[in-house]
Structure 1
């Protein structure tokens, strides 16, 4: 059984080896198994007790050993075949049965004594040998490669069956023999051996068998572990090689392609297996022509035991370009380079993403124009290029005058669409000029005119842009009109510092805004003083509310029927600590630009409501106060909450608060309607200020809940001399009366203006002719105290 187990264990080893190693394992296995069978046979014979001493013929003993080893070699050769059919199994079983029977009966013949056999039992023993042999061969073949945790038990069971079969054949054969005294020794020649010596031989054979078995198992385990490690490493390598997302091309020192992994096919766009055994230069046809020389040079560097990495580009058969990162890794064995691995990674998307990131880093995401970072680099480069030649170029700063109104009214989505349209118009204006348009953010654009042109050309370009911006923009089914302010600074005469030059262009632009917008201006040194003053004024304005420097003045609104005061308009003034009282035109535009207008507007609303409630509590009269809403206030999410809070804290009834809005705030009809209806529901009256200066006034009157129209002072100024203004004012008054709306004309300064308005049945006026804006104390003293006195 031990010999059978050893043979089973060695069969797997024989099956996994080739050449000389396979022959060595075959001889070792056959010898071990043969000696085991032979030892079992002669131990059984020695166990037989006869009344006379028996000697053995040494030649026959040796022949029986050879037959046992021969039988074992047949068995091992059979089970190490790749396939084993029925014919092969029967033939091998017959040969093995013949060998075992031959070993047994040759061994019996070695006994120097007369033997007669029962032929039926002999045939039975041979049948047992054949059956056992076939079964043993099948078991050996079946379990030869089993490496599971149950393999030991499978092999032990198979060895037990095989040993039992051979023992059954042996003892059946022994039972078939009948011994008798005869002259068997008289015709024998050669060496004889006594039983005791034969016992020693069997002991030695058994020890040799055990030693061979132990040695074989030991060597098998060691080699099995070594092979297992090798196979495991090979498995890891194969998995890495075949499943790698990067393409791998293995090349020998002659440049012949030994193997490629599946990823190569995906990367090059054609089946890669056709390139095996071809020269690696066959791949170069896929490389773009301008990169072939570099690719070849880097490839040869890998044979100098240097790992090289580089980028290249290949072209698919359909024309698609693929960006690759190539790494050439030399394959070194015992200090010699025997080839290299070319690892190709598809970095097309990575480079595309990198390019997009770099583009976003230097371009405005909304318009695609260069951003501030690129502008600074371009400006610095332009100055460097012209540093010694002193060639003139211009920096043009451009700002949209009514962008904030559009953005607040229509929302950021339409604000973005508007800015894209502005960008397109500016680029169309600079077409044909060596200029770069950039967007710094919001509605601020900068143009670098790199061409050397005189001032008249720069002025003509600015005029083209101003005129282009005058044309209406179609947004949300409406036409919107804007204007633009442009400032121009020149290199090198204005400045040779990029930051300073941009600052000077901005200063010129702000001067245009100050002077009425919608135009352009070149920078002059006088503007620095104004810009510095503007910066100081902004810093002071941020502290004005906290320092209680703002004050509300009130301009009376009077009835033309009886000169009775019917309301007041709240107008903010700034009591500046060093500049005195500043009018709204001085600081309101700055407040709108910096976002301070929201805080100032809310403060004015609160103060006006507080003062009006105080006047009511003091005996009246019970008239409303009119407060202007800024665009930021009107579109702020907490407008309703803010109004309710002010009314609640001041105690003023909602019917005495009138909010003045402008047409520009109501560009988004859906949003504006929601806000105005909510305000109207609170009981607040809505007045439409500067009526007639917009572009959709009549549609506003139809859609929105408006209670009063204010005729803009631009129609009143020349009403006594301009028939058109007179006709417009008369039309507005008549229309308002038909729509059952109140009308108030502002800016009345002369008796002629008043007479014309009264002729057209205008019932409320406001202006210097009746009263300038007054402080709360002056209103109290001039109007309310006399009324209360007359009432008493």
Structure 2
């Protein structure tokens, strides 16, 4: 034997040792097979992965491990590898374990050939993908489910709705309930966010119990909004009954520590046959119905009205473009006179917003405030309105017109914790007396349980800014506000004024109610105002009942600052 031969043998033995080390210690399963698939050798990792003993595999072939549904294609791939028509095999495949279950694996197959290229054996490396698959499943679940409640999220709900509309019979009926929990910010503010989270989880569980036995699903769309999708069956409750069941279930106290918290929901509903609606239209219809239910008060439900759909769609579009319109300066500030009904003396000018969106009619003050609530610009619109009007008032005062300014606020604008700070900024260090600014605070804001609007009224009073109670309907709680808060005027609700104007007789209940409320208000020492006076007859009726200040077309419509300047000269 030569020295060179001895070196080759040592290198061969060293190579064999390295192979054995890798073969026995690698976590990846390895099988060396004859060309017919008979196992020549397998490592421990493969046997542990699939649950076979070494004895089991001696009488088996690699093909016995293939899933029957995939065996044919895999056997053909092995043949192609041996014939050289295929260079390698790298695929994710199911293999059959000894217990009959499937193992999700990654296969990498190659051929061992001799010096002439003749195939001798196949080498199959098998990697366990079950942990990776489990991780992927968890990530997929997290992407499609709400982390707090475990319910399907908005994305998954939309996918399930699309699938239902695509796969169910065309005459099947689906009902979508869109829920918004009422006044939930009070829970977070009063008890803390952990308590709020506890209640959200409890609500989710109760809603799931509510559809037990039904074909449907519950999803959390985000925040305090949920969705329930039901396929109607003969035993499924009707819309009114099911909406009542939802609020009955939520009314049962949820205990957070020693506190029992009862919740309620506003509910928007749309019901359609599968063949009559697209997914986006169904989601949109339920959302529109929810917003309408919310305007009616707590614990209310509303059914989507297709006759109002065009109107709702236009309003949604206007709300969407409103922030851009404010940024681009498309809003205008006008002024209408508030007049003494005794002598037609000018008492104040009231700020009136208007907006002329391209392709639509001009929107007045009330419409602007309502849309601003939906669009999210209600506070920035208020700040711009007050700053613009106060600057104009300063100009009028410099010109010698000692007029007061009234700005009517929406509920959210009045309840804003930063209202006082924003008003301070508007007042600035100018020469104008703060008493020249009057702010109309809606009664609904002053009666809200948060107390923010009430607090604002007290602080504004210390600053010299006057406030008026607007949208007054003469209920006992509102009368109590007059005694408890430093408000300086009352203005009847426009809806109530219209109801009086449409009366059939002087003996109508609403007439008697208003006539009885006016003396109670006057006993509190504050003047009473009304708006919507379109005729002298209307103005005369209210004046005869004891009202002192009015606005309406009979006294003058809203005009620009320039036109109002001319009117002030002649007033």
The equivalent position to 2:550 in structure 1, one of 752, 771, 778, is 771
The equivalent position to 1:593 in structure 2, one of 374, 394, 409, is 374
The equivalent position to 2:173 in structure 1, one of 382, 388, 393, is 393
Distance 1:480 1:707 in 2: 36
The aligned counterpart of 1:113 is none
- Alignment of 1:606 with 2:387, yes or no, is yes
The offset of 1:486, in angstroms, is 1.1
Q: CA separation of 1:376/1:767 partners in 2, compared to 1, >3 Å: closer, same or farther?
A: same
Say whether the 8 Å CA contact 2:445–2:453 is kept in structure 1.
no
- Alignment of 1:747 with 2:492, yes or no, is yes
Distance 1:779 1:458 in 2: 53
The offset of 1:497, in angstroms, is 3.8
Q: CA separation of 1:341/1:510 partners in 2, compared to 1, >3 Å: closer, same or farther?
A: same
Say whether the 8 Å CA contact 1:250–1:260 is kept in structure 2.
no
Q: Residues 319-334 of structure 1: matches in 2 within 5 Å?
A: 325=105, 327=107, 329=109, 332-334=112-114
The offset of 1:315, in angstroms, is 9.7
The offset of 1:349, in angstroms, is 2.5
Match of 2:272, SS state, is: strand
Distance 1:372 1:583 in 2: 35
Q: Residues 541-560 of structure 1: matches in 2 within 5 Å?
A: 541=322, 544-545=325-326, 546=328, 548-553=330-335
The offset of 1:398, in angstroms, is 1.4
The equivalent position to 1:693 in structure 2, one of 444, 447, 460, is 447
The aligned counterpart of 1:16 is none
The aligned counterpart of 1:359 is 141
Provide the TM-score with structure 2 as the length reference.
0.65
Higher relative CO (Cα under 8 Å, sequence separation at least 6) belongs to: 2
- Alignment of 1:348 with 2:163, yes or no, is no
Distance 2:43 2:288 in 1: 67
Say whether the 8 Å CA contact 2:174–2:271 is kept in structure 1.
yes
The aligned counterpart of 1:452 is 233
Match of 1:771, SS state, is: strand
The offset of 1:292, in angstroms, is 9.2
The offset of 1:744, in angstroms, is 4.7
The equivalent position to 1:260 in structure 2, one of 30, 40, 43, is 43
Say whether the 8 Å CA contact 1:550–1:572 is kept in structure 2.
yes
Say whether the 8 Å CA contact 2:339–2:348 is kept in structure 1.
yes
Distance 1:742 1:238 in 2: 93
Distance 1:454 1:235 in 2: 73
Provide the TM-score with structure 1 as the length reference.
0.49
Q: For the aligned residues, what is the CA RMSD?
A: 5.7
Q: Deviation string for 1:83-109 (max 9, x for gaps)?
A: xxxxxxxxxxxxxxxxxxxxxxxxxxx
Say whether the 8 Å CA contact 1:309–1:327 is kept in structure 2.
yes
The aligned counterpart of 2:28 is 246
The equivalent position to 1:717 in structure 2, one of 448, 473, 480, is 473
- Structure 1 residues without counterparts, runs of 5 or longer: 1-24, 26-218, 285-290, 662-686, 720-724, 787-792
Distance 1:612 1:478 in 2: 51
Distance 2:320 2:480 in 1: 46
Distance 1:478 1:775 in 2: 51
Say whether the 8 Å CA contact 2:108–2:125 is kept in structure 1.
yes
The offset of 1:538, in angstroms, is 3.7
Q: CA separation of 1:658/1:353 partners in 2, compared to 1, >3 Å: closer, same or farther?
A: farther
Say whether the 8 Å CA contact 1:574–1:581 is kept in structure 2.
yes
The equivalent position to 1:431 in structure 2, one of 212, 217, 221, is 212
Distance 1:446 1:772 in 2: 45
Say whether the 8 Å CA contact 2:32–2:122 is kept in structure 1.
yes
Say whether the 8 Å CA contact 2:218–2:227 is kept in structure 1.
yes
The aligned counterpart of 2:501 is none
Q: CA separation of 1:765/1:348 partners in 2, compared to 1, >3 Å: closer, same or farther?
A: farther
Say whether the 8 Å CA contact 2:290–2:302 is kept in structure 1.
yes
Distance 1:595 1:698 in 2: 19
The offset of 1:339, in angstroms, is 6.1
Say whether the 8 Å CA contact 1:489–1:504 is kept in structure 2.
no
More helix by percentage? 1
The offset of 1:354, in angstroms, is 1.2
Aligned residues: 506
The equivalent position to 1:572 in structure 2, one of 353, 361, 373, is 353
Q: CA separation of 1:706/1:282 partners in 2, compared to 1, >3 Å: closer, same or farther?
A: farther
Which has more radius of gyration?
Answer: 1
Q: Residues 183-194 of structure 1: matches in 2 within 5 Å?
A: none
